[in-house]
Amino acid sequence: MNFIQIIKISLKSIFAHTGRTILTLLGIIISVFAIMSVLTLGENIKGYVFAEVESFGSDIIQVEVSLPEKEHVSVDNFSSMAMGAQITTLTEKDAEAIAKLPNVKAYNIGITSQSLLKYESELDYAVLLGSSYTAPVVDKAVKLAGGRFFTQTEEETSAQVLILGSEVAKSFFGEINPVGKKVKLGGTTYRVVGVLEERGSIFGFNFDEMVYIPYTTLQKKIMGIDHVQYIMVKVNDVEKIDRTTEDIRNILRLRHDINKPIYDDFSAISMQESLEIIGVIFDSLNILLVALATISLIVGGVGIMNIMLVSVEERGQEIGIRKALGARENDILNQFIAESIVVSFLGAVVGVIICSVFLWILFFAINTKGFDIDFSIPLRAILVSGIFSLVAGLVFGIYPAKIASKVNPMEAIRS
């Protein structure tokens, strides 16, 4: 028999036993769904995270407090900070020392807190972001929709001025221009000098719901502290950013009297380095999850083998008659392998269609929650899941096909 004849006979046999075929397809569909979902989610979320990090610019070095003797980019460090562990050694003097490096263009000091914000009858908690007057220079996403940013003089004198995020301005003032209006922040009067353009969320952190004030004002008049939480450093030459990052670490170790990197009470990492770390994490996670999803493919393959073995028993007379009419062992072998591969192919197609619809609905739901993740199905996800399923069909179809090819025609016909 030629290839076309084998495929025709295989399809006829498959559709002649729909119940058995559906059971076989189910295992492959689930396997393809698992592998394709893992790869698609991984690629799309990785792209989203990359875009969020890159939104700050490739010329940025982030310096922030971190717990000594812990990996700075680790769950342990983040969870400890979230549980209330505080580091108070990072100060504006550190920022001034960093600013003396030749490749540093500007820096922006940052502190976060919250307080009650009131305008006339409107009252709500606001997230406060204390920053330097250089914030629009360092963070390219800080753009004004109206008014101005606070000045160096206002920062140095701890002036009671603030800039509203777009959602805060809309919530408190509606269509009224808030610039020049006076509001109460923790019972103290502040003047609105500017309103920011809509920026959206980054890692679930909505900048449009924030209120910018001079970090000195937040330190002295609201929080009563003299330390800072982070320093964003903008460099002149991106090519020298790694050297500058290492220089910042050396300066802070000297200023904080630290003799070993393991005792660092800060972390200094460039956006490029962040992207490399994120890339390694996602790639490793993808490999692990695909390996786990492949287990379901093996289960599906075993299902194919079992169903094919049952098929050999049920179709003994058919095999015997074909052999009696001149079919060779190789013809029977090829037919059953072809059936296994065709079933796998059909399962892969159905799995890809079902998974595509599911993922589209999932990402649509995610984006309605405030995230902005571009949805696309990588060709790699389709190819990997499809090839894996076809290989499973081939590998797990060989054993039943060999048994079918060895059937004695006379015994098969008599049975």
pLDDT digits (tens, 9 = 90+) for 123-180: 888 899 999 999 999 988 899 999 999 999 999 999 999 999 999 999 999 889 999 9
Predicted local distance difference test score (pLDDT) of residue 210: 92
Predicted local distance difference test score (pLDDT) of residue 203: 60
Predicted local distance difference test score (pLDDT) of residue 82: 45
Query: What tokens does 239 get?
Result: 């090519």
Predicted local distance difference test score (pLDDT) of residue 83: 46
Q: Give 318-327 pLDDT, tens digit per residue.
A: 767 776 767 6
Predicted local distance difference test score (pLDDT) of residue 285: 75
Q: Which comes out higher in pLDDT, residue 76 or 57?
A: 57
Predicted local distance difference test score (pLDDT) of residue 7: 63
Confidence class for position 217, pLDDT limits 50, 70, 90: very high
Q: Does position 247 have pLDDT exceeding 80, yes or no?
A: yes
Predicted local distance difference test score (pLDDT) of residue 178: 93
Mean pLDDT value across residues 403-412? 68
Q: Does position 75 have pLDDT exceeding 50, yes or no?
A: no
Confidence class for position 236, pLDDT limits 50, 70, 90: very high
Identity of the highest mean pLDDT range in 43-57, 83-97, 178-192: 178-192
Confidence class for position 51, pLDDT limits 50, 70, 90: confident
Mean pLDDT of the chain: 81
Percent of the chain at pLDDT exceeding 90: 34
Confidence class for position 32, pLDDT limits 50, 70, 90: confident
pTM: 0.64
Q: Give 77-87 pLDDT, tens digit per residue.
A: 444 444 445 77
Q: Which comes out higher in pLDDT, residue 20 or 94?
A: 94
Q: Does position 74 have pLDDT exceeding 50, yes or no?
A: no
Mean pLDDT value across residues 53-60? 74
Q: Which of 139-148, 212-221, 251-260, 390-399 has the lowest mean pLDDT?
A: 390-399
Q: Which comes out higher in pLDDT, residue 404 or 346?
A: 346
Mean pLDDT value across residues 280-307? 74
Q: Does position 62 have pLDDT exceeding 80, yes or no?
A: yes
Q: Give 352-404 pLDDT, tens digit per residue.
A: 999 999 998 988 888 777 677 778 888 888 888 888 888 887 887 787 778 77
Mean pLDDT value across residues 14-34? 74
